Structure 1
Amino acid sequence: MQTSLPRPVGNQLLFRFLLVATAMYLVWFFGYVQWLAHDGWLDTALCNNIASSGVALLQILHFSATLDTHIPALVLMAGEQSVIVGPPCNGLVLYALFAGFVLAFPGPWRRKAWFIPLGIALIWLLNVVRVAALAINHHYSHQTVDFNHHYTYTFVVYSCIFGLWMLWARRLATPSQMA
């Protein structure tokens, strides 16, 4: 016979969410902002990975794309500088934001164990597509890159993250017995 703890309700759920979110923010602040960000190795690795994956996608699509030999986060299109992936654009904050919400929101840990990596992979893929699209954009219409970088991508990626959160909150966070 399996016994389960009573599920928190109402304000208890909100308090739990805020408590977990605050704890995760403190882990992020002290773990990343105060420690890892200063070293820079994680940001550098993510920037290089996103840039090289963007180049691979462009090459699959038969574009003449390469990485700069001296700056591995710089995408070249037909030998011309096109897109550089910097720490603010490597997706790390988005991965943490997405995972933090799912972890703080009540739900079965088994589902969180597959949903968080799947969501992060989707956000990573969106970022790779973004880099490739911005490189193409720069190659054919460089005057629109700034707008697309700051507004179009922001709208697309945050809409995707919001959709994933809604999927989690409305469908996956509810145990199957109650669904």
Structure 2
Amino acid sequence: MTRFFLVFLSVQAVLFGMEMLAPVQAAVVQPWTGLVASASAAIIQFFDPSAISHGRVVQSAQSGFGISIEPGCNGVEAAIVLLAAVLAFPSSWKMKLWGLGLGFMAVQGVNLLRVVSLFFLGQWNLQVFEFAHLYMWQALIMLDVLIVWLLWMRYVARHEKRVSPAKQPSAPTA
């Protein structure tokens, strides 16, 4: 248990520290945030064809209302927490890669739902938007990370065969 927490905290410290570096922001975080904005606008266009994105902003060309996807709202931090939890848990690298791949997609899928819902909530009622943005979705994103990690751990426990030293077959004696 101590090893898990030390690895979990260390991986988070390193990745959150790296995320703050200007070159990482320019090469990874800002382009990712733009991609989140573009994907969100594409989803929104099914319901509001006037939705556009530019940079990290998603806006309705019809009403002029827009949201800016700021740090903490792009799913990067949630993905870092999930990555740290998966890497800290004792399992094979094959299982870790599956957990990271599927978990990343799940977290980003929920984050897209978050951005899309906030876009529509903001046009409807700014007080509800503020509550949903600051409280509800913050908790739901972290709950998503926890649920994804717990489901992955359960899968690993059921499917990864670990042979303990006491159960290993002994060598034949002569």
Indicate the residue corresponding to 2:45 in structure 1. 59
Indicate the residue corresponding to 2:151 in structure 1. 167
Indicate the residue corresponding to 1:176 in structure 2. 160
Give the Cα–Cα distance (whole angstroms) in 1 for the partners of residues 119 and 78 of structure 2: 21
Instruction: Decide whether aligned partners of structure 1 residues 102 and 79 sit closer, same or farther in structure 2, where only a CA change above 3 A counts.
Output: same
Counterpart check, 1:31 vs 2:18: yes
Indicate the residue corresponding to 1:137 in structure 2. 121
Give the Cα–Cα distance (whole angstroms) in 2 for the partners of residues 138 and 29 of structure 1: 29
Mark the runs of 5 or more structure 1 residues left unpaired by the alignment: 1-13
Counterpart check, 1:102 vs 2:86: yes
Per-residue deviation at 1:129?
A: 1.4
Per-residue deviation at 1:169?
A: 2.6
Which SS does the other structure have where 1:88 is aligned? Answer: coil
Mark the runs of 5 or more structure 2 residues left unpaired by the alignment: 163-174
Give the Cα–Cα distance (whole angstroms) in 1 for the partners of residues 141 and 70 of structure 2: 17
Higher-Rg member (1/2): 2
Alignment of 1:59-138 (within 5 A): 59-68=45-54, 72-77=55-60, 78-138=62-122
Percent of pairs with identical residues: 25
Aligned residues, how many? 161
Give the Cα–Cα distance (whole angstroms) in 2 for the partners of residues 22 and 157 of structure 1: 19
RMSD value over aligned CA atoms? Answer: 2.2
Indicate the residue corresponding to 1:8 in structure 2. none
Indicate the residue corresponding to 1:48 in structure 2. 34
Give the Cα–Cα distance (whole angstroms) in 2 for the partners of residues 164 and 102 of structure 1: 10
1:73 partner amino acid: R
1:106 and 1:173 in contact (8 A); partners too: no
Per-residue deviation at 1:149?
A: 0.5
2:87 and 2:96 in contact (8 A); partners too: yes
**Normalization by structure 2: what TM-score?**
0.80
